[in-house]
Amino acid sequence: MRHALSVEPAPPTRPQPAETAPAYLDVSGLWKSYGDFVALRDISLSIRKGEFVCFLGPSGCGKTTLLRAIAGLDLQSRGAIVQGGRDISTLPAARRDYGIVFQSYALFPNLTIEQNIAFGLENTGRPRAEIAARVAELLDLVGLAAQAKKYPAQLSGGQQQRIALARAIAISPGLLLLDEPLSALDAKVRVHLRHEIKALQRKLGVTTIMVTHDQEEALAMADRIVVMNHGVIEQVGTPTEIYRHPKTLFVADFIGETNQFPARVTEGGAVEIGHSAFLCQTDGFAAGATATAVVRPVDIIPHGADLHAGMAAEKPTTPQNVIDAQVVEMEFLGMFWRTRLTAPRFGDRVLVADFSVNAVRRLRIEIGGAIQVEIPQERLLLFPRSA
């Protein structure tokens, strides 16, 4: 079992780019090799204008390599990149239309904050008054107008990152690239700054690509997530699609906490796990096939210890896949309790379930106590058995 997120992302609170909007950035057939090592393998991807896309995956999966290829900082071995209808596949970085923010901020320590922001503008040959007005506008936009005369070392990490962002958007680029921009910050600052970045991107309408290995960050910020692994794209989708409908076992395991059990597909839309059969969506699996059954801890529903007693009189909507279990461990994580259960029907395997504080209080769930839990049929997912 893998420890990651266990809370489903909230529905988006901002309008999503139209599915029919034309692509602003097209990546097709992209490969990148370093000698015998293949870092990117046949990557194809379309990003719509105004979209916020996150490249998400573990270290070494190729997400930063893909970002650098788009930026022209590390040219691909083969394949094409088209931005705004212009083929930029072989253009040097200086001739591409983007702004970039690095994890390390990359501010000039010997220049003041306003000079850092003005640096790129001065290279465009604009009048000094116009540059000064633009710098003032950007400082106000990121809420740091009072810090204009200070140097980077006099600012906090979060403030420096906002200055780096202001510098990146100073020339109004068509594309904004963010390379793990929040990873060097502490947890509270990260959460605060990701909301600021989202609001700024929404206000500017700039097409944005962010590289991250933080699942929560991607779920909270992105319109769409590109999940990568070993140089290939595993899945592209909205945060809800990625979380609720993972297409591969890797995606299911990487995005959130999972319980995984070896299973065998039986007749009639069921799988055998441990010593029992459970109802499940078995489309695409033949009877007798082996598989990996996955259920998220957050999807397990507690019913207390006496649900079976009244089930005979219930209507056909009676919960399915209800099992008797014993609580062997409980871990308080603030908004919920992570519990570990044993159940005769699962044999010697442990089932991890996340219960709300209210449910634990209402059902009097405690270590050593008996409980009945439901594994909803539609949330028990099947994937081909890993080799």
Q: What is the mean pLDDT of each run of 10 residues along the chain (387 residues)?
A: 43 50 92 96 97 96 97 96 96 95 89 92 88 94 92 92 92 94 82 89 95 93 97 97 95 93 91 90 91 96 69 53 95 95 89 96 95 94 83
CATH 3.40.50.740, domain 259-384, yes or no? no
- The CA-based angle 254-257-259, given to 5 degrees, is 110
Pairing outcome for strands 175-179 and 207-212:
parallel
The residues of the chain that CATH labels 2.40.50.100 are: 259-384
Q: Directed axis angle between helix 157-169 and helix 113-122, to 10°?
A: 20
CATH topology of domain 23-97+174-254: Rossmann fold (3.40.50)
| Identity at 2, one-letter amino acid code | R
Q: Please give the pLDDT value at position 366.
A: 96
Number of alpha carbons in the 13 Å side-chain half-sphere of residue 164: 27
Q: Please give the pLDDT value at position 345.
A: 85
Q: How far apart are CA 328 and CA 341, in angstroms?
A: 6
Q: What's the sign of the alpha-carbon dihedral 235, 236, 242, 247?
A: negative
The residues of the chain that CATH labels 3.40.50.300 are: 23-97+174-254
Contact 278/265 with Cβ under 8 angstroms? no
CA distances to 14, 44, 223, 353 from 18, in Å: 12, 20, 11, 37
